[in-house]
Amino acid sequence: MLTLSLHPVENRSPHHDVEFQYRRLASDRLSLSFLLRGGEKVALGKVNPQPARRDELWKQTCFECFMVNAADRSLNARYVEWNLAPSGDWQAYGFTGYREGRSEVSLVAPRLTRKQDGEIFIFEFQLPIPSELRNSGFEIGVSAVVQELAEESPFYWAFAHRAEKPDFHNREAMLVIVPDAKDGE
């Protein structure tokens, strides 16, 4: 598991922490798991029996994954943003550049497996990889917005923070490299 770090300007002490791991399952699928320790103190919402595409999931507890072609080192590269709620609701946007040209990406819904062991919650999402990234290595930026039950505003977690304010779209924070799919996967 890799650990997400709290944004450095945060002066509150959360009662939770977030870890993640990823695994490319095939050329067209990525497994992304989040371990939320202290989950009983977090506003998780109820599981949606029929998960749906929804906007503004980031306004509550939400896991995020940004995907960009590893070969494109531009700070204004095209990328895909996944918003993944603990309820199973989701959204996927494509951007033509840094926070520009947002549109919904036509992808099938991710699958969510949700487990709990005491105060530890594990959310495993199986994400379809956008077609333009399937035959190449790509980088991901992994982050989480976590709303504790006793707090008015959320905590912002990411694998890397590169700006004074939380900015998960920042290309310099997309550092986790997912290798090319191997033959036979």
Question: What per-residue confidence (pLDDT) applies to 184?
Answer: 38
Q: Is 76 helix (H, G, I), strand (E, B) or coil?
A: coil
Q: Is the pLDDT of residue 96 over 60?
A: yes
d(CA 67, CA 87): 22
Q: Is the pLDDT of residue 185 over 50?
A: no
According to DSSP, the residues that pair with 125 across neighbouring strands are: 32, 112
pTM equals 0.93
For residues 62 and 92, is the Cβ–Cβ distance under 8 A? no
Query: Can you give the residue ranges of every domain in the chain?
Result: 2-178
For residues 123 and 34, is the Cβ–Cβ distance under 8 A? yes
Residue 35, CB-side half-sphere exposure with 13 Å CA sphere = 11
Burial 78-97 (b: 16+ CB within 10 A, else e): bbbbbbbbbbbbbbbbbbee
Lowest mean pLDDT among 39-43, 48-52, 103-107, 173-177: 173-177
Which CATH number applies to 2-178: 1.10.287.610, 3.30.930.10, 2.60.40.1190, 1.25.10.10?
2.60.40.1190
For residues 125 and 110, is the Cβ–Cβ distance under 8 A? yes
Instruction: Please give the mean pLDDT across all residues of the chain.
Output: 93
